């Protein structure tokens, strides 16, 4: 859908907006955020495959828009309430949940008003700020929360100067941009990583998209941005593949001396979507999605501006079909739940790990994890129809905890979120589940069990960086102990053993390796043998986890 074709009247001439006008503004914000999605994704602090902020915010905003897409209501307040509900149900990751709280607060301030004027805009942004802060147990400055606070202040100051909607929006966008640029000064980890806050940047793009709509500017063409080659995130979220994005093409090339990046971008937009351009040491990398039958057009286009050195293609549509077939063909035997029992719901990143949780007695599985954060609705749907009113949720990922907590507020059932940050913590908690036990006591025991296990993860670095005193090069194996980066090396075995040393594994009794999709059973067993040699007093187990991107998830207990 081309939003710009809908701009028949200049919205800046209106000093009040009704519900249908908001729909256009929301679509503009969503469109501009999606256009710049990969820029937001590239701002991850840690160089790990993550539930990318840009993707999470796009999916949250898409859910918000879908809630009103076919709604003809003109009452502004009613439409905003629908937007807030859609954002909450579709919220993914911490950034998505906070974004939904911003919409929730805005909706509270404009409850049932027919049209939004400058005064209510200021009130709405102030309530959005307050609600977002209250929704976080320990608010951290230098994040999307700070940006929400700064734009509320800017709106108030602008209103005192001129009660004009467009003027206030301009000042809000300027304040959002300035606030984002200041985030590294407020949050040391951002400064160390050399990035600004990704959630704050996403909120800026939403607001800037609305202003660009007002000014009649393009929403489909990103401001020409060349990312550092190491920061290009080519991980795909399969569920976001749109029609016409059948083939992914990645081309490395060395341009001729006269290379106009702006013209290059403009021509590429006639060929495909999801365009990214990265550069490092004079080599450029082009990433683009094209329709089947057009996969060679980017190559021909590149040949006009330089010499290509490497080309890679993947059939996205075929991969999607394989994922769906594999998903439909794998059935789990989950625990049967009786009325009054405590039922456990677990979020899991891989098929093998799902089977292990099922064997421990979970009643429902939500597929997702570090690279695919589930939505509030997906978690809610997992337990809402279970025949019991006592539910415990194991997020098994720190970026899913807030989403799980959001789902717990949307039901009449008694729901507790046991805040497991990792799969090993979730498994340890499951060992304390007593279905017929006292609810409060069981939750207490499950929380305590998480303290008895150390968690490790081995993955590949998505970019080069120096953080936590560790120098990382893109593509190296990196080890994380309880979420902290401890080692970077070119060897998987060395990374695994180094992680165990960092965790003082010799002080524990059991080491369990959950190997992922990128590790063969033979390789996993070989590394397990090396661990047995290094730790002869410990029991070593090997399990097929089936998780993507993470070579090993390691439990030490």
Asked whether the predicted pLDDT for residue 191 surpasses 60, the reply is: yes
Contact 236, 205 (CB under 8 A): no
Element (H, E) at 481: strand 477-481
Q: What is the pLDDT at residue 11?
A: 44
382 & 315 share domain: no
Cα–Cα distances (Å) from 482 to 127, 216, 372, 462, 479, in that order, read 36, 48, 20, 19, 10
Sign of the CA dihedral with 59 first, then 60, 63, and 65 last: negative
Q: Tell me which of 282 and 25 has the higher pLDDT.
A: 25
Cα–Cα distances (Å) from 25 to 209, 214, 240, 415, in that order, read 8, 8, 22, 36
Q: Could you tell me what percent of the chain has a pLDDT over 90? A: 62
Mean pLDDT of the residues in the chain:
87
129-145: per-residue pLDDT in tens? 999 999 887 888 999 99
Element (H, E) at 534: helix 521-534
Asked whether the predicted pLDDT for residue 370 surpasses 50, the reply is: yes
**Angstrom distance (rounded) from CA 143 to CA 190:** 10
Give 50-92 as a DSSP string: ---HHHHHHHHHHHHHHHHTT-----HHHHHHHHHHHHHHH-B
Q: What is the pLDDT at residue 222?
A: 62
Asked whether the predicted pLDDT for residue 14 surpasses 90, the reply is: no
Q: Which residue has the tokens 């999801």?
A: 274
317 & 334 share domain: no
Give mean pLDDT, residues 148-170.
95
Dihedral angle of Cα 183, 184, 190, 195, to the nearest 10 degrees? 90
Q: What is the pLDDT at residue 47?
A: 66
Q: Could you tell me what percent of the chain has a pLDDT over 70? A: 89
The pTM of this model reads 0.78
For position 203, which CATH number holds? Answer: 1.25.40.340
Domain annotation covers residue 449: no
248 & 279 share domain: yes
Q: Which of 130, 132, 155, 116 is nearest to 23 (CA)?
A: 116
Q: Which residue has the tokens 């190296």?
A: 476
Q: Tell me which of 553 and 261 has the higher pLDDT.
A: 553
Asked whether the predicted pLDDT for residue 1 surpasses 50, the reply is: no
Q: What are phi and psi of 56, to 5 degrees?
A: -60, -40
Domain annotation covers residue 212: yes
270 & 318 share domain: yes
DSSP state of 4: G
For position 253, which CATH number holds? Answer: 3.30.70.1150
Lowest mean pLDDT among 42-51, 222-231, 320-329, 447-456: 320-329
Asked whether the predicted pLDDT for residue 224 surpasses 80, the reply is: no
Domain annotation covers residue 198: yes
Contact 182, 145 (CB under 8 A): no
Contact 479, 507 (CB under 8 A): no
Domain stops at, among 396, 411, 442: 442
332-360: per-residue pLDDT in tens? 789 899 999 999 999 999 889 999 999 99
Q: What is the pLDDT at residue 416?
A: 96
501-517: per-residue pLDDT in tens? 999 999 999 999 999 98
Task: Work out whether strand 477-481 and strand 454-460 pair parallel, antiparallel, or are unpaired.
Answer: antiparallel
Confidence grade of residue 13 (pLDDT, cut at 50, 70, 90): very low
Lowest mean pLDDT among 6-10, 316-320, 423-427, 441-445: 6-10
Confidence grade of residue 540 (pLDDT, cut at 50, 70, 90): very high
437 & 414 share domain: yes
Q: Which two structure tokens, joined as six digits, stand for 87?
A: 């954002």
Contact 105, 67 (CB under 8 A): no
233 & 219 share domain: no
Give mean pLDDT, residues 487-499.
94
90 & 162 share domain: yes
For position 528, which CATH number holds? Answer: 3.30.1180.10
Domain annotation covers residue 447: no
């Amino acid at each position: 859908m081309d939003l710009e074709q809908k701009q028949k009247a200049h919205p800046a001439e209106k000093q009040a907006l009704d519900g249908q006008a908001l729909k256009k503004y929301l679509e503009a914000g969503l469109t501009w955020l999606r256009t710049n999605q990969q820029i937001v994704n590239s701002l991850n602090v840690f160089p790990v495959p993550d539930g990318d902020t840009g993707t999470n915010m796009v999916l949250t905003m898409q859910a918000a828009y879908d809630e009103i897409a076919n709604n003809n209501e003109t009452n502004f307040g009613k439409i905003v309430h629908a937007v807030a509900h859609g954002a909450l149900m579709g919220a993914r990751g911490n950034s998505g949940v906070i974004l939904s709280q911003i919409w929730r607060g805005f909706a509270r301030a404009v409850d049932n008003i027919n049209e939004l004027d400058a005064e209510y805009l200021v009130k709405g942004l102030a309530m959005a700020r307050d609600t977002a802060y209250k929704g976080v147990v320990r608010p951290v400055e230098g994040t999307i929360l700070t940006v929400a606070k700064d734009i509320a202040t800017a709106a108030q100051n602008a209103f005192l100067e001129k009660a004009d909607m467009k003027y206030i929006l301009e000042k809000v966008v300027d304040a959002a941009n300035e606030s984002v640029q200041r985030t590294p000064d407020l949050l040391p980890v951002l400064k160390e990583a050399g990035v600004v806050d990704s959630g704050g940047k996403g909120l800026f793009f939403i607001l800037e998209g609305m202003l660009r709509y007002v000014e009649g500017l393009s929403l489909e063409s990103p401001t020409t941005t060349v990312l550092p080659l190491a920061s290009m995130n080519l991980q795909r979220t399969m569920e976001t593949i749109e029609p016409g994005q059948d083939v992914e093409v990645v081309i490395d090339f060395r341009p001729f001396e006269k290379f106009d990046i702006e013209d290059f971008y403009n021509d590429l937009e006639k060929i495909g979507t999801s365009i990214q351009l990265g550069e490092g040491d004079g080599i450029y990398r082009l990433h683009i999605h094209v329709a089947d039958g057009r996969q060679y057009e980017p190559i021909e286009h590149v040949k006009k501006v330089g010499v290509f050195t490497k080309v890679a293609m993947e059939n996205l549509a075929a991969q999607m079909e394989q994922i769906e077939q594999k998903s439909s063909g794998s059935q789990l035997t989950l625990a049967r739940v009786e009325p009054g029992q405590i039922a456990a719901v677990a979020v899991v990143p891989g098929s093998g790990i799902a089977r292990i949780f099922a064997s421990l007695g979970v009643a429902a599985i939500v597929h997702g994890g570090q690279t695919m954060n589930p939505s509030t609705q997906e978690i809610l749907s997992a337990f809402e129809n279970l025949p019991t009113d006592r539910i415990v949720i194991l997020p098994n990922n720190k970026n899913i905890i807030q989403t799980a907590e959001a789902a717990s507020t949307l039901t009449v059932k008694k729901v507790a979120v046991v805040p497991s940050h990792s799969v090993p913590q979730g498994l340890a908690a499951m060992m304390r589940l007593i279905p017929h036990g006292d609810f409060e006591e069981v939750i207490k025991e499950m929380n305590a069990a998480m303290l008895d296990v150390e968690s490790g993860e081995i993955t590949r670095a998505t970019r080069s960086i120096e953080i936590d005193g560790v120098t990382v090069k893109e593509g190296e194996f990196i080890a994380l102990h309880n979420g902290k980066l401890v080692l970077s090396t070119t060897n998987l075995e060395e990374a695994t053993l180094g992680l165990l040393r960092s965790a003082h594994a010799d002080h524990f009794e059991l080491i369990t390796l959950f190997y992922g999709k990128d590790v063969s059973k033979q390789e996993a067993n070989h590394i397990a043998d090396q661990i047995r040699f290094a730790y002869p007093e410990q029991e070593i187990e090997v399990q097929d986890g089936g998780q993507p991107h993470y070579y090993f998830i390691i439990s030490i207990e």
